[in-house]
A and B are shown apart, each in its own frame.
Chain A
Amino acid sequence: MGPEKMKEIITDVLKDVDVVIGYKQGFDKLHATPCFINKAEQIEEIIWSPVCVQNLASFLPSLKAKKVGVVVKGCDSRTIVQYMQEGLIDRSKVVVVGIPCTGVVSVKKVLDKVNHQPIEDVVFEADGAILVKTPAGETKLSLADVSPDKCSTCLYPTPVVYDHLAAEPIKSVKAPEDVYKDVEEFEGKSLEERKVYWEKEFDRCIRCYACRNACPMCVCQDSCIAESRDPHWISQKSNLSEKFMFHMIHSIHLAGRCVECGECERVCPMGIPVNALKKKLNHDMKALYNYEPGVNPEDKPPMYTFSVEEKKIEEHKL
C-alpha cells in the first residue's frame, strides 16, 4: 500500500504522459520536495509519507501544454476540481493519482517540538507516532499534535477526483460544522482586538509573495497589482498599510475560489496565519451562496455568476 502501490501506478501512468509530478525526499527527512518524473529510473525516488506537504496540483496550469500525471492528497484534489470549474486545465490532459491521507506534518510544529535542531532522521510508525532524531536525542511525537490545523477538520481525506487511487479510500470522521469553528471564534473578538491582532501579524510580512506564488488559485501571478504601476494601488513601501492592502486583495480575489489547501500559510517564512483570512471569506461564501470551492466540477464559483437578486443578500432599501 501507499508508496509501493503509488510507484506501480506511476510506472503505468508514465507510459502515457510527458511528466508525472510526485514527491521525493528533500534536504532532510522532514522535508519532501516535488519531483518531476519523466524517466522510469526516477520512480525509485518517489516517496509518500506525512512529510509530503506541497500541493502539487498547483503546477498544472503552468504545464498546460503537456500531458501531466500528478499525485494529489484529498485536500490538493480540490484544486483540480476548482481548476476544472474555472477552465484552467484540460482535464483530459491530466492523470490524477490520488492518495488517501490521514494527515500531514507541519514542519514548523515539528521543529518547534525539537527546538529547531537539525533533523537526522524521521520515522513514521504504524500507530501514528513519529520518531524524530536530532543531535540532541530522539523525540516521539504524535501526528495529530504536529499536523497543520487544516488536517484537524479535514472532510476530504480521499481525493474528490482521481483516475487512480494509491490506497484504500478513507472516510472522514470530522464534523463539517467544525471546519469554520476557528473563524467563528475569532469573529467573537472585538473589532479593535482583531485589528491589533492583524496589525501585529502583518507587521512581519516581507512582501516576498511566497503566499501568492505558492497559491494554486492565484492565477494573475505575473500581473499582480502588488507590483503593478498601472494601476498603482500599492506602493513598494514596506509599511503596514501596503502589506495590509496586499493581503486583503489576495484574500478577496480568492473569495469562493480558495480550496483551503493552506499553502499560503505553510510557505510563509514569517509564520503569518494568512490562511485564516481566506477561510473567513470562504465561510461567508458558504453562508451567502451555500458554495464550497473545489468539490464539484459542475459548480460555478459564485463570483463567476451574476443574479439581479441574491437570496441571501439584502439589497440596500433606498
Chain B
Amino acid sequence: MADTGFIPKEKWGAFIEGLSTKAQVYVPCLEGDTVLFRPFGKEKTLCFERPANSPPKSVIFPQSDTLFSFTFIKDPDNPQKTEVELKEHLDFPKTIVIGSRPCDAKGFTVYDRPYTETDTPDPYYKGRREKTTIVTMTCNSPSAGCFCTAVGGSPADKEGSDALITEVEKGYFIEALTEKGKEILQGPGVEDGKAYQGDATKKQEAVHSMVKNPFGPKGLGKVSPELFDNDEFWDNAVSKCVSCGACTYLCPTCYCFNITDEQTSDKGERIRTWDGCMYVHFTLEASGHNPRPTKFQRFKNRVGHKFSFYPEKYNGVIACCGCGRCIRYCPMSVDISEIVSNLQGA
C-alpha cells in the first residue's frame, strides 16, 4: 500500500506539535487519573496507553454548542415594538483528533447517518465533521468491559477514521485511509512506512483475539421480541441502575440532545447540549405526562435504540461500538453486554 508512513518514537512528539501549527489538534491528555481529549499544548501530559475516559465525540459534538444568538432591538419610535435579530454560528476551525480508538471513530459513523445522511442535515455536526481529521490508534490491549469485536468492530478497525496508527517496536506505522488522512502523512518526521506494514498487521491481529465476546461463540443473535417487551425482564435487569447519565455521556454513539434558551437581559443564545435518555426529565412533558416515567422504560429505550431501533432504520447497523465505557464507569456496574446477551432469543 502506497499510503503508509512511519514515525520513529523519538519524533512522535515533534510530529504532533508540527500538526498543531496547521490545525487545532486534540490529543488524549492525562489529568490526575483521568485521560481526556484536550487541545494539544506542550505542557500537557499525553497518554496513548489506554482509551480516554470519555471519547472524542465532544470535538465534533460539543457538550454545549450555540445554535444561534438572539438580540432584542427596541424600535426607537415605538418602544412597545421589539424586533428580534438572529445570528447563526457556523464557523468551524480545521481540527485533527489524534489517538481516538477504533470504537471512538466508529461512534462518529453512527452519528453520521441521522446527522448528515438525511434530507435535513445538521449543519453544526456536518460542518465540524467535514473539517475534522480522525487519526485513530490501534489498541495495544483490550480494556476492562470492552467488547468491540462482538459488535462488528475490532481493535484495528478502520471505519470512521481518516488514518490508522499502529504502534510497532520502534515507532508508529500510519495508514492513510482518506484524502484527509493522506495529509497527515505530510506531517513532520514521517518516513516511508512500507517496511513496517508486516509488524503492524501482526500486532493488529494479536490484539483482535484478546477482546472478549460476551455473546457466546455464535455471536450476537436477534433480540427476542418476547423478552424485549417483558417488563419483568427489564425490572430485574436494571433495578440497580441509578438513572444517571454517565453511560450516555461517555458513549461514543449516544447522540441525544437538548435545546434550551439561555438569556441575559436583551440578548441570549439558543444552545444545544448533551442530554440523555436515562434522565427522567428527558421525555417529561409540560402537562406532567411522561411516556417513559420509570428507569426500566428508559433503559429499555436505550438498549432498544442501540440494538434494535437503529439497526431497523439503518440496514442492520448496531449503534454500539463496544468501547465498554458505560460498563467501566457505571456507578453500579450495570453491564449492557450482559443485558443484550440475555435478550437474545433461544
Contact = CB atoms under 8 A, between A and B. Distances in A.
A–B contact at 8 Å CB threshold (below):
yes
A60 B280 CA distance: 19
Contacts of B281: 222, 227
Given A213-B331, A222-B281, A235-B262, A111 B242 contact: no
Given A27-B327, A33-B334, A118-B141, A269 B246 contact: yes
Contacts of A108: 33
A255 B142 CA distance: 42
Given A206-B274, A236-B273, 18 more contacts: A26-B333, A27-B337, A27-B338, A28-B144, A28-B145, A116-B50, A118-B144, A208-B245, A208-B246, A208-B249, A222-B281, A227-B279, A235-B271, A269-B53, A269-B250, A270-B53, A271-B33, A271-B53
Contacts of A142: none
B242 to A, nearest CB: 4
Contacts of B215: none
Interface string B310-340: 0000000000000001010101111101100
Contacts of B33: 108, 112, 271
Interface of A: 26-28, 30-36, 54, 58-59, 108, 111-112, 115-119, 135, 200, 204, 206-210, 212-214, 222, 227, 229, 235-239, 263, 266-267, 269-271
A213 B144 contact: no
Interface in B47-81: 49-50, 53-54, 62-64
A33 B63 contact: no
Dominant secondary structure at the B interface: loop
Interface in B250-297: 250, 258, 260, 262, 271, 273-274, 276, 279-281
* Most chain A beta-carbon contacts within 10 A, residue among B64, B144, B276, B327: B144
Dominant secondary structure at the A interface: loop
A118 B244 contact: no
Interface in B204-238: 210, 212, 236
13 contacts: A34-B240, A36-B236, A111-B144, A206-B54, A207-B274, A208-B245, A210-B245, A213-B243, A214-B244, A267-B244, A267-B246, A269-B54, A271-B53
Given A204-B31, A208-B245, A237 B145 contact: no
A214 B236 CA distance: 19
B292 to A, nearest CB: 13
B273 A237 contact: yes
A135 B210 CA distance: 9
B210 A116 contact: no
